[in-house]
Chains A and B, each alone.
Chain A
Amino acid sequence: MRKFAYQLPLTLLLIVLTVPLLAGIETYTFETPEQERIYKKLTEELRCLVCQNQNIAGSNAELAQDLRKKAYEQVKQGKSEDEVVNWMVDRYGDFVLYRPPVKATTLFLWTGPLIFLLIAFVVLWRIGRTRRKQTSEAQPVDEQSLEQARQMLENKES
């Protein structure tokens, strides 16, 4: 037991030393699990405008922290997910959303992949059709040359 006597103070010391690290983490508390769920979803779907390929949940940029705070305050006030999203879009535009809404300017973005897939299918179908035509047009092989070929193959095997 004596051997371990120094361990308690050491452990306590280490815990105390890590406290400043914990202070850097935002601790937001919510009244309902639903609010927490909305907040989490929002921070995952809103883009950080400074570091454009990160959402505001994953970014430590100051603006991301501020926007997280704004999202938190509004969720806490009982605002719905859509209300907070609209609030963000009013200020930062559609770009703040990771999933752009379907509208006139983004129509090509949404339908583009489908159009390309369709084109690919048409091309594939046309290639298939020409191939089929070529095979059906192929000359029938007469029995004699078929026998010749068979013999050649057998000779090779032996």
Chain B
Amino acid sequence: MKSMRYILPLLIFAALLALLLKGLDQDPKEVPSPLVGKPAPAFTAQQLHVPEKQFSAADMKGKAWILNVWASWCFSCRAEHELVTRMAREHGIIVVGLNYKDEPADAKAWLQQFGNPYVTSVMDQEGDIGIEYGVYGVPESFIIDKSGVIRRKVIGPINDSPDEKPQNSVDELLAFMSKLEAE
């Protein structure tokens, strides 16, 4: 009983240390989305390259796809663009772009310059679709399964470096996509 006097504070200290260390590991900027596990919000919007044609999220039923939120004014989008392109071109991943709060002319020029990996990009000039999806920064990506349910939200740029967020790693996302395609 006497030894408890010394061990107890030590235990409390160890517990506190473990709690604080775990906190260091977490990114406070990453806000978990309540939409994961729920049907992707429906929307219909004009396509960037063919404004007279509408795209609707419902058109994608039966396919596993990624909704990638991007903008020409967004620097991190440029960083991940190469990886998005690789996913689309080399692995045949269906990526739809949500062109967030952008000028159509700027957006088209950006795609011309860096390449266009998107099946189509839809315009969200007012950011209304973004709000429906809980977008609070660009880039963000939503991984949607065949039944139209959001299975994952990728916050921030996709990466291919082991030093960066593992949940945003391109290999991890590719593995996840092939799992969804097999469902």
Contacts and interface: CB of A to CB of B under 8 A. Distances in A.
B127 A92 contact: no
A89 B34 contact: yes
A108 B133 CA distance: 29
Secondary structure type dominating chain A contacts:
helix
A98 interface: no
Contacts of B131: 66-67, 70, 91
Contact of B132 (A52, A63, A91): A91
Given A62-B101, A92-B34, 6 more contacts: A49-B31, A49-B137, A50-B136, A63-B127, A70-B131, A92-B136
Contact of B35 (A49, A70, A91): A91
B15 to A, nearest CB: 13
B92 interface: no
Contacts of B127: 62-63, 66
Contacts of B137: 49-50
19 contacts: A49-B31, A49-B136, A49-B137, A50-B137, A52-B28, A62-B101, A62-B127, A66-B127, A70-B131, A90-B34, A91-B131, A91-B132, A92-B34, A92-B134, A92-B136, A93-B31, A93-B33, A93-B134, A95-B31
B34 A93 contact: yes
Contacts of A89: 34
Interface in B15-59: 28-29, 31-35
Contact of B29 (A52, A92, A94): A52
A52 B28 CA distance: 9
Which of the listed residues A50, A63, A70 has the most CB atoms from chain B within 10 Å of its own CB? A63
* Range of interface residues on B (Cβ < 8 Å): 10 to 19
Contacts of A93: 31-34, 134
Contacts of B29: 52
A92 B137 CA distance: 12
* Range of interface residues on A (Cβ < 8 Å): 10 to 19
Contacts of B134: 91-93
B44 to A, nearest CB: 18
Interface string A47-90: 00110100000000011001100100000000000000000011
B136 A63 contact: yes
A57 to B, nearest CB: 17
A92 B33 CA distance: 6
A90 B136 CA distance: 14
Contacts of B133: 91
Which of the listed residues B34, B133, B136 has the most CB atoms from chain A within 10 Å of its own CB? B136
A67 B126 CA distance: 12
Contacts of A50: 136-137
Nearest to B135: A63
B95 to A, nearest CB: 22
Contacts of B101: 62
**Interchain residue pairs A-B with the least CB separation, the first 10:** A49-B136, A91-B134, A93-B34, A95-B31, A92-B134, A66-B127, A63-B136, A93-B32, A50-B136, A49-B31
